[in-house]
């Protein structure tokens, strides 16, 4: 996606099949179609963007794009592990150990710093591209008024002060606010809070409206969305994927983009590619908007809950649960999200909950997305692992995928995002069983 949303790109484009109709798959399809490709998206659900892309907090943000693996996250995660209502949960199990080992290795200051710098670069481009899409009429729900942090404690203010300094060092804007300044910026907040921060360059949107609006634009460009078609297994021959076995029969393919979010690893495993992505469950609950609900999005720093003002309702999102593919709702943690909302916004106390939602963020252990080609399979592109920032990152991911397909130099160095950057720590059971070698990526 570049500044011209009216014109397509030059370059030789081919038939592309995208696996997964979440925000990433949709953005990739739109971008490739704009460049002249014939694109088909296969989505197993009966509608597009029903999974993680539908109910997230909708922040289009570069200031809050921390890598999930960092010394601070590691320490905080350990402290929170034992509290049933904390914003973080880890269900210990053997299967998670290799992911945790990689997470710990990625949490050194040096690696976290490199990942942080890359995430800032990616998310800043993402924020710019969202603005361009909105200017072109392709994201009417984008609101560009900035984002507030709210602090309940002196410790929160101190943490906020150092976060702002770290953001300034990366060229991001943001300023600390006194309690009075915070309440002036957002009168819906409780006077019990101690202070806040304002980030003027941030935006937010209704993520479902964004994804489906982009899909509508992609359809006009000729993209074929085939909902209700699940990819069962890719068929490989001679270093290529030649076809996809699906619930609608075998589909021959030229180029394939794997954008199936947290469901990407099993499909990748079938073709010998190891993607250590864990599902990190998060929730939202929504209450009807009342007079006195906020006009700005607010990040409640101590409770790690985000309040997003959407049409007719206030969405409260939070929690990161490393609980495998378990999609059960934990009422204790949803209750904690509600309490944080009530504490920060007196007007919603007692308001009925409209709905509770959960989604699985696709999280690689180093917090960086997986974008790029894979050496062993010449016609496969991976675009997944967007973790906590897929809505923000979808447009820049799409641009990078388009640049790769067109053979153009990518606008961002892809090295740290290589999909095959992780070595398998233990041989997979399938591979060990049939005697083949575990893949050893470069």
Ligand X SMILES: Cc1cc2nc3c(=O)[nH]c(=O)nc-3n(C[C@H](O)[C@H](O)[C@H](O)COP(=O)(O)OP(=O)(O)OC[C@H]3O[C@@H](n4cnc5c(N)ncnc54)[C@H](O)[C@@H]3O)c2cc1C
Of the candidate spans 145-153, 212-220, 279-287, 336-344, the one that interacts with ligand X by CB under 6 A turns out to be: 279-287
Of the candidate spans 195-203, 373-381, 383-391, 416-424, the one that interacts with ligand X by CB under 6 A turns out to be: 383-391
- β pairing state of 305-310 and 298-300: antiparallel
C-alpha 8: how far from chain center: 26
User: Cα angle at 368 between 364 and 373, to 5 degrees?
Assistant: 90
d(CA 51, CA 307): 20
Cβ contacts of 358 within 8 Å, gap of 6 or more: 55, 281, 282, 283, 327, 329
Shortest Å, Cβ 336 to ligand X:
13
Is residue 359 within the footprint of ligand X (CB under 6 A)?
yes
Site string for ligand X, 291-320 (x = CB under 6 A): --------------------------x---
Is residue 51 within the footprint of ligand X (CB under 6 A)?
yes
d(CA 440, CA 114): 23
Q: If 0-12 CB within 10 Å is exposed, 13-18 middle and 19+ buried, where does residue 58 land?
A: buried
Q: Kindly state the number of chain residues that form the binding site for ligand X, as judged by CB under 6 A.
A: 42
d(CA 351, CA 424): 49
Shortest Å, Cβ 382 to ligand X:
11
- Among 77, 146, 261, 365, which residue interacts with ligand X (rule: CB under 6 A)? 261
Of the candidate spans 45-53, 68-76, 193-201, 220-228, the one that interacts with ligand X by CB under 6 A turns out to be: 45-53
- Among 43, 206, 286, 330, which residue interacts with ligand X (rule: CB under 6 A)? 43
Half-sphere exposure of 116 (CA within 13 A, CB side): 22
Of the candidate spans 5-13, 333-341, 354-362, 429-437, the one that interacts with ligand X by CB under 6 A turns out to be: 354-362
d(CA 410, CA 78): 38
Is residue 22 within the footprint of ligand X (CB under 6 A)?
yes
Minimum CB distance to ligand X smaller for 157 or for 322 = 322
Is residue 56 within the footprint of ligand X (CB under 6 A)?
yes
Runs of H (alpha helix) within 47-153: 71-80, 97-106, 109-135
d(CA 23, CA 19): 12
- Among 18, 52, 223, 277, which residue interacts with ligand X (rule: CB under 6 A)? 52
- β pairing state of 278-288 and 88-90: unpaired
Tokens of 210: 């964004």
Shortest Å, Cβ 196 to ligand X:
18
- Among 29, 115, 231, 277, which residue interacts with ligand X (rule: CB under 6 A)? 231
Is residue 230 within the footprint of ligand X (CB under 6 A)?
yes
Q: 66 to 85, contacts with ligand X by CB under 6 A? A: none
Of the candidate spans 56-64, 68-76, 106-114, 152-160, the one that interacts with ligand X by CB under 6 A turns out to be: 56-64
d(CA 212, CA 23): 8
Tokens of 410: 């990518």
User: Closest by alpha carbon to 318, among 262, 353, 302?
Assistant: 302
Shortest Å, Cβ 47 to ligand X:
9
Is residue 45 within the footprint of ligand X (CB under 6 A)?
yes
Residues that bind ligand X (CB under 6 A): 19-25, 42-45, 50-53, 56-59, 230-231, 259-263, 267, 282-284, 317, 359, 361-362, 384, 386-392
């Amino acid at each position: 996606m570049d500044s011209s949303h009216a014109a397509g790109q030059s370059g030789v484009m081919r038939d592309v099949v995208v696996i997964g109709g979440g925000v990433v798959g949709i953005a990739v399809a739109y971008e490739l179609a704009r460049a002249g490709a014939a694109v088909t998206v296969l989505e197993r659900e009966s509608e597009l963007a029903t999974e993680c892309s539908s109910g997230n907090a909708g922040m289009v943000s570069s200031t809050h794009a921390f890598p999930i693996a960092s010394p601070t996250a590691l320490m905080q995660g350990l402290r929170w592990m034992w509290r049933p209502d904390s914003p973080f949960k880890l269900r210990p199990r053997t299967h998670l150990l290799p992911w945790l080992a990689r997470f710990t290795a990625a949490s050194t200051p040096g690696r976290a710093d490199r990942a942080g710098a890359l995430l800032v670069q990616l998310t800043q481009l993402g924020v710019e591209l969202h603005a361009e899409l909105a200017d072109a009429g392709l994201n009417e729900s984008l609101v560009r008024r900035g984002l507030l942090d709210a602090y309940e404690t002196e410790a929160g203010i101190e943490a906020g002060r150092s976060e702002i300094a770290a953001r300034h060092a990366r060229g991001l804007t943001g300023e600390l606010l006194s309690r009075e300044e915070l309440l002036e910026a957002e009168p819906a907040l409780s006077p019990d809070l101690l202070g806040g921060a304002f980030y003027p360059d941030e935006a937010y949107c209704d993520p479902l409206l964004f994804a489906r609006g982009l899909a509508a634009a992609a359809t006009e460009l000729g993209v074929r969305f085939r909902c209700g078609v699940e990819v069962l297994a890719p068929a490989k021959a001679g270093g290529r994927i030649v076809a996809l076995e699906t619930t609608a029969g075998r589909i021959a393919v030229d180029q394939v983009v794997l954008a199936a979010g947290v469901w990407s690893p099993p499909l990748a495993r079938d073709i010998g590619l190891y993607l250590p992505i864990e599902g990190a469950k998060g929730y939202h609950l929504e209450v009807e908007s009342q007079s006195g609900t906020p006009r700005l999005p607010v990040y409640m720093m101590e409770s790690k809950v985000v309040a997003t003002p959407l049409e007719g309702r206030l969405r409260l999102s939070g929690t990161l649960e490393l609980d495998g593919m378990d999609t059960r709702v934990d009422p204790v943690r949803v209750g904690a999200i509600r309490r944080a909302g009530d504490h920060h916004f007196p007007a919603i106390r007692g308001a009925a909950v409209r709905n509770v939602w959960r989604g699985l963020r696709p999280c690689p252990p180093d917090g960086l997305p997986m974008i790029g080609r894979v050496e062993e399979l010449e016609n496969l592109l991976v675009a997944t692992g967007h973790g906590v920032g897929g809505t923000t990152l979808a447009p820049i991911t799409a641009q990078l995928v388009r640049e790769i397909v067109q053979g153009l130099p990518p606008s961002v160095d892809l090295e740290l995002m290589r999909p095959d950057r992780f070595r398998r720590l233990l041989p997979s059971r399938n591979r060990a069983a049939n005697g083949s070698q575990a893949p050893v990526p470069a």
